[in-house]
């Protein structure tokens, strides 16, 4: 089966699994996931599964990417802050759906690789930073949308405080991989509404930045 056929099969699988936003499905269809997958896993690029990448991190399962993006309620007029660039795959999807994407990664090796891939795809509406994602990006706040792709032990107040009024943050929360849930956090004035969604498995959200290996 060709990569193109595998991609079509994946998009159909995402539809059957409950992803209904056609903009999200179209974005996933446009992005070559094989570009973000290590060479050893190229034959699995369009399987609906998470895969290992550099720095002991993972590229998320396509279904989780699609569902979290859909929960974010994408809007081409808005900016979005992504915490956890990883391979850059989720970033590339966001670039199709938002006016401006700010993405933060703590591993310099990963951010450099992701920037190269995003440039190949002509994703010119992205700013990638190697810094401490737990701090967010206060100099650009408030954000109408924030997406966190690592699991926080509790609702990350620092990031929530950088939401615009009416803004949405999608974040996995849990103290162990066996008990992580996606939360949709909506800012309502000075307060927040937290809606628990599906169960997930993410690497933990860790403070600090890691320099590239010399």
Q: Show which residues are catalytic.
A: 60
What Cα–Cα distance (Å) separates residue 175 from each residue in 22, 135, 178, 202, 205? 33, 19, 8, 11, 10
Give the SS3 label for residue 137.
Answer: coil
- Give the Cα-Cα-Cα angle 111, 89, 99 (nearest 5 degrees): 90
Which region, left, alpha or beta, applies to residue 78 given φ > 0 means left and ψ of -120 to 50 means alpha? beta
Q: Give the distance from CA 125 to its chain's centroid.
A: 16
Tokens of 194: 């937290």
Give the SS3 label for residue 55.
Answer: helix
In whole angstroms, give the CA distance from residue 162 to residue 119.
Answer: 28
Tokens of 83: 């915490």
- Indicate the helix (H) or strand (E) that contains 206: none
């Amino acid at each position: 089966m060709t990569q193109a056929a595998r991609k079509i099969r994946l998009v159909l699988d995402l539809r059957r699994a409950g992803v209904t936003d056609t903009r999200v499905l179209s974005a996933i269809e446009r992005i070559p996931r094989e570009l973000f997958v290590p060479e050893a896993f190229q034959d699995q690029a369009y399987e609906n599964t998470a895969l290992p990448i550099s720095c002991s991190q993972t590229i998320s399962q396509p279904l989780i990417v699609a569902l979290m993006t859909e929960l974010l309620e994408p809007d081409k007029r808005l900016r979005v802050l992504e915490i956890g660039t990883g391979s850059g795959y989720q970033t590339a999807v966001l670039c199709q759906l938002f006016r401006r994407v700010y993405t933060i990664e703590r591993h310099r090796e990963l951010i450099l690789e992701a920037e190269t891939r995003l440039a190949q795809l002509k994703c010119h509406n992205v700013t990638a930073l190697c810094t401490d994602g737990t701090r967010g990006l206060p100099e650009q706040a408030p954000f109408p949308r924030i997406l966190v792709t690592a699991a926080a032990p509790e609702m990350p107040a620092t990031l929530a405080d950088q939401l615009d009024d009416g803004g949405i943050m999608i974040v996995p929360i849990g103290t162990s991989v066996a008990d992580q849930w996606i939360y949709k956090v909506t800012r309502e004035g000075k307060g927040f509404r937290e809606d628990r969604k599906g169960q997930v498995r993410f690497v933990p959200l860790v403070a600090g930045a890691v320099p590239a290996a010399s």
